[in-house]
Amino acid sequence: MTTDVNLRELVLEVLLAVTRDHAYSHLVIREMLEKYQYLGKQERSILKRVCEGTLEQMIWIDYVINQFSSVKVNKMKPQIRCILRSSVYELKYMDAIPASATCNEAVKLAQKRGFRNLKGFVNGVLRTVSRNLDKISLPDREQEPVRYLSVKYSMPEWILQLWQTYPLEQVEEMLQSFLMEAPTVIRINPLKTTKEELRQELMADHITVREDEEVPGVFYLEGYDFLRKIPSFREGKFYVQDTSSMQVAICACPKPGDYILDVCAAPGGKSIHLAELLWEAENGAAVQGMVEARDLTAQKVSLIEENINRCGLPNICAVQADARILDEDKVGKADIVVADLPCSGLGVLARKADIKYRVTMEECRKLCDLQRQILHTVQQYVKPQGILIYSTCTINPMENEENVSWFLQEHDNFRLELQKQIWPGKGKNDGFFLAKMRKG
């Protein structure tokens, strides 16, 4: 990790922004990589890996530090805490970096940040951790199963208690999946390219391309440096979207002439997928159907518009609207309403690890109330025999199955056609929930 730019200092800035200032990790890391585009591919890869890895493993890292530090992690100054956390991650997972270099650079960084009097403390903790890494034992699996899983997989205990209704084997497989490196999943834009053309173009850019065996038109990408540097991405030849999320449009199965309303659409992936399927259903000729992608703020609508323009779709528009407030003009007009609503995000922890540290049970309850409020409003837009699709990217019965049960009790003119909880699968897909309901 030697460069003109101190990578460890950049890591520290990211960790402080996320853990102290409550910024979103995926946004902070993306902004950092965009700011330092001139860094080499290996340096950028190291920066991303240490930031994401430290956040993913933070509970385990704190457990280790607390065994060898006279000051517990939660009592440390934020900068020292972050320096120690990223350094312990290096010691455990970055074999190519000598332990002595990790310890020395951490001491230098502490001094540079004005903590000269804590040089000995930082050095002592890290060298002790380094000598004892192979001797660290986890909590007893039989006596303390929740704490054991919490430490081993760095998952807050309250979330594990929330998942106690699921089989233990299923939960542990899910926890393992969250710690696996997830490839970038893309969906081919049929308006601009073909599968083979895109494959050849990506491979010419020295990107590893693997085709999904079950979902047509889906590739997994690895080995690229920066998404926006890929010409085919800038040209709108593909859209980044997880296979679980793709199930919304696939299950909606739009028909020629359909009017589709997506009420919480940003950044627009599901809406754009629906528009593509609608285009294909109409053979791209005399387009009759339309997708209206809505969201709450001008910033989110601008993001949807950016993606629409990049993908070159003529049968979709973006509109600013509050999903909680009834739009009288749309009552009974939509063939398909998509309500992919704000949720706790517990299905996407492989990509956004900091969610597990920021969400709380109280916030889950508030989100559940918001989801019900929106569902009660937007169901009025569905035509007779039309479809309402409710989806979340979480694994939480309160927000998923219980919300569907509530909705069907409150609105007996809808019937459930499909309901599924998609589990995170060995680094292959995110956790996701979907319910398809038809209006009588």
Residues belonging to the active site:
393
The edge-to-edge listing of strands for the beta sheet with 290-295 is 316-320, 290-295, 259-262, 334-340, 382-392, 432-439, 414-422
8-state DSSP, 338:
E
Longest CA pairwise span in the chain (Å): 73
HEC per residue, 397-409: CCCCHHHHHHHHH
- Cα 433 from Cα 419, distance rounded (Å): 8
Beta bridge partners of 420: 434
Distance CA 227, CA 240 (A): 10
* DSSP 8-state assignment for residue 329: G
- Cα 272 to Cα 275: distance, rounded to the nearest angstrom: 5
Nearest to 331 by CA among 265, 377, 291: 377
Ordered DSSP codes for 187-230: EE-TTT--HHHHHHHHHHTT-EEEE-SSSTTEEEEES-S-GGG-
Question: Which among 330, 323, 425, 436 has a CA at the least distance from the CA of 390?
Answer: 436
Separation between Cα atoms, residue 163 and residue 168, nearest integer Å: 9
- The answer for residues whose C-beta is within 8 angstroms of residue 419's C-beta and 6 or more apart is 401, 404, 434, 435, 436
Return d(Cα 418, Cα 251) in angstroms, integer.
Answer: 9
Would you state the torsion angle of the CA atoms of residues 193, 196, 201, 204, taken in this order, to the nearest 10 degrees?
180
* CA–CA separation, 138 and 228 (whole Å): 41
Helices 119-132 and 78-93 sit at what angle, rounded to 10 degrees? 30
Provide the token pair at 6.
């101190």
User: Residue 261: beta bridge partners?
Assistant: 292, 337
